[in-house]
Amino acid sequence: MNVDTKELENILEIKGLSKSFPGVKALQEVSMNIRLGEVHALLGENGSGKSTLTKCIVGAYRKDAGSIIYNRGEVDFASPSESFKNGISVIYQERSLIPKLTVEQNVFLGDELSKRGFLSQREMRKKYNMICENLGFRLPPDEKIASLGVAQQKIVEIMKALARESKLVIMDEPTASLSKQEADHLFEIIEELKRKGISTLYITHILDEIFKITDRITVLRDGKKIATLNTADTDMEEVVNLMVGEILHEDEERESFSRYDLPPVISVRDVVRLPRVRGISFDVYAGEILGITGLTGSGKTELARSLFGADRLDSGKITIGDRDVNYKSPSEAIRSGIALVPEDRKNDGLILLFEVFKNITLPAIGEFSSRPGFISKYRELKTCNEFRKKLNIRLASEYQQTKFLSGGNQQKVVISKWLLTKPKVLIMDESTQGVDVKAKGEIYSIVRQLASTGVAIIFISSEVQEVHRVSDRILVFRDGKIAGEFRRGTRQEEILKTAIGGKTKFMGGEANDRLEL
């Protein structure tokens, strides 16, 4: 192989890239390259290291080791704005345009053309028209972003990249909220970029897109690169297997604590909360661990929030014990014995600037009163220390600010605070996200221990593997409905296939089935 030409045709080359966070090796010696004018897919399950990798490339994170060669020179960008100036654009999942400015103002934002210190409208309009011509697509330049659809906004972001003469465009789940037609349109534009020699790193969970538009596929798992394949030489089966990895079929034998002989603790009937939850019914029994999995956007989190009273139901019925409930607020749900470990620990689960003990006692502060309304700090600290021992929370002191704890310890704080309310139903939404392996194991055993005391647990996760490992029974959500129900011991592949819509339906590429993993 001729090294020189190889280097010439790569716009980006990554060698031995590693990045660790406290307790987690997010990337381990990842090497890959992206060729000029190539559409390259980056694939992997949640937590496999995709977003860490892109963040290292653009300089949002500093890498621990390894090198990045971009446009033939070694680079070490200090910030995303620096890499942007050098021609690497990122199109994020969440929108990053300014809604109140026009299309043209957004396209040139931060890089306005000017003459003698004044904005040169004419020059910008000229360049804008040129970009449109290049794309073969025209958006009205004076339209406000706020009045555009999601797909058009994605296009504006691409135009922004073109205005900077980007050589590499990184797209993170760009079709996540697009309809099928809109997605097809986006694909045409990616083709157009390709013809111009602009490379695209395409991150997605939707496999049929990958087979439609990419040249090569790189699969990450647990922070390691597993393989780079030519798209033409592989198929979905192989890619799914690479993503999931070696599946251990030995089921750890364990007791089930489910009391199917008793009436269910909570019954959910035809619950609707548009747009994401579209008619869900199930029961959970005392001591049962009900796993719920499904792609992101399949309605898992929205269901959890509705059960907890954080969002109102549009319709449907929830029964706890023999009482129909209709919560207007979480405080009502908590009073009748529901607890939620929310998906977004930092924003929804904790008050980060609070000392640890204050977070733990917050929902049940009434129990720390010597007289109504007054708080006994002595009792608070005592309880905090009990949980610290019981759940093995590593703290410098009870007074430590919660924001200084690692992800796993923070999550244990969230779990502690709910244990204090002695819930009948504990909902755990993506409770092991951003948590290191050891703490994950500890969280699983806490869940099991709770089930053994008769708590009904709803364990929600988009990682099929852990749902498979923890649950007594598994529901698979797809597009706001239950797509399948599985007993413990079902093969993981079967669950995963149900989640992504099954092979035949999946390849059909129906708009409704196009969801991320």
Partner 1 sequence: MTVSNSKSKLISILGKYKILIAFLVLIIIISFITPRFMSWQNIINVFRQSSIVGIMAIGATFVIIGGGFDISVGSLLALTAAMVVGFQSSMHWFFAVILVIGVGAAFGAINGLLSAKIHIPPIIATLGTMTIIRGIVYMYTGGYPLYVDSKGFSFIGNGYVGPIPFPIILLLLLVALGQFVLVKTRFGRYTCAIGGNKEAARLSGVKVDLYMIMTFVVGGMMAAVSGIVYASRLLSVTPLAGQGYELDAIASAVIGGTSVSGGEGSVVRTLIGALLLTMITNAFNLMGINLYVQYVFKGLVILAAVGFDSFSKAQS
Return residues touching partner 1 (CB under 8 A).
308, 310, 329-331, 333-335, 340, 342, 347-354, 358, 362-363, 365-366, 369, 373-375, 377, 396, 404, 417, 421
| CA-based torsion, 390, 396, 399, 405: positive or negative | negative
Minimum CB separation from partner 1 for residue 94, in Å? 17
Per DSSP bridges, beta strands 199-203 and 39-43 are: parallel
β-partners of residue 36 are: none
Task: Give whichever of 19 and 417 is closer to partner 1, judged by the CB atom.
Answer: 417
Task: Give whichever of 330 and 407 is closer to partner 1, judged by the CB atom.
Answer: 330
Residue 192 phi/psi, 5-degree rounding, is -65, -45
Minimum CB separation from partner 1 for residue 85, in Å? 23
Task: Give whichever of 214 and 410 is closer to partner 1, judged by the CB atom.
Answer: 410
Fill in the DSSP letter of residue 517. Answer: -
Minimum CB separation from partner 1 for residue 329, in Å? 7
Question: Which SS3 state, helix, strand or coil, does residue 90 take?
Answer: strand
Minimum CB separation from partner 1 for residue 427, in Å? 11
Secondary structure (DSSP) of 319-358: EETTEEE--SSHHHHHHTTEEEE-S-IIIII--TTSBHHH
Task: Give whichever of 428 and 517 is closer to partner 1, judged by the CB atom.
Answer: 428
Fill in the DSSP letter of residue 93. Answer: S
Cα separation of 441 and 444, whole Å? 5
Minimum CB separation from partner 1 for residue 27, in Å? 21
Minimum CB separation from partner 1 for residue 424, in Å? 15
Cα separation of 502 and 429, whole Å? 25
| CA-based torsion, 326, 288, 467, 269: positive or negative | negative
Task: Give whichever of 129 and 399 is closer to partner 1, judged by the CB atom.
Answer: 399
Task: Give whichever of 348 and 493 is closer to partner 1, judged by the CB atom.
Answer: 348
Task: Give whichever of 65 and 362 is closer to partner 1, judged by the CB atom.
Answer: 362
- Maximum distance among all Cα pairs of the chain, rounded to whole angstroms: 81
Q: Are 12 and 34 in contact (CB under 8 A)?
A: yes
Cα separation of 460 and 462, whole Å? 7
Cα separation of 84 and 95, whole Å? 16
Task: Give whichever of 98 and 396 is closer to partner 1, judged by the CB atom.
Answer: 396
Minimum CB separation from partner 1 for residue 333, in Å? 8
| CA-based torsion, 463, 465, 470, 475: positive or negative | positive
Minimum CB separation from partner 1 for residue 507, in Å? 40
| CA-based torsion, 152, 155, 157, 163: positive or negative | negative
Task: Give whichever of 210 and 334 is closer to partner 1, judged by the CB atom.
Answer: 334
| Separation in Å, CA 350 to CA 233, 376, 423, 426, 437 | 47, 21, 18, 17, 21
Minimum CB separation from partner 1 for residue 214, in Å? 38
Tell me how crowded residue 138 is: count the other CB atoms within 10 A of its CB.
11
Scanning 59-198, the segments in alpha helix (DSSP H) are: 80-85, 103-107, 121-135, 150-163, 180-195
Q: Provide the CA 94 distance to its chain's centre, in angstroms.
A: 11
Minimum CB separation from partner 1 for residue 396, in Å? 7
Minimum CB separation from partner 1 for residue 103, in Å? 29
Fill in the DSSP letter of residue 107. Answer: H
Cα separation of 91 and 154, whole Å? 8
Task: Give whichever of 333 and 483 is closer to partner 1, judged by the CB atom.
Answer: 333
Task: Give whichever of 114 and 329 is closer to partner 1, judged by the CB atom.
Answer: 329
Minimum CB separation from partner 1 for residue 373, in Å? 5
Task: Give whichever of 202 and 368 is closer to partner 1, judged by the CB atom.
Answer: 368
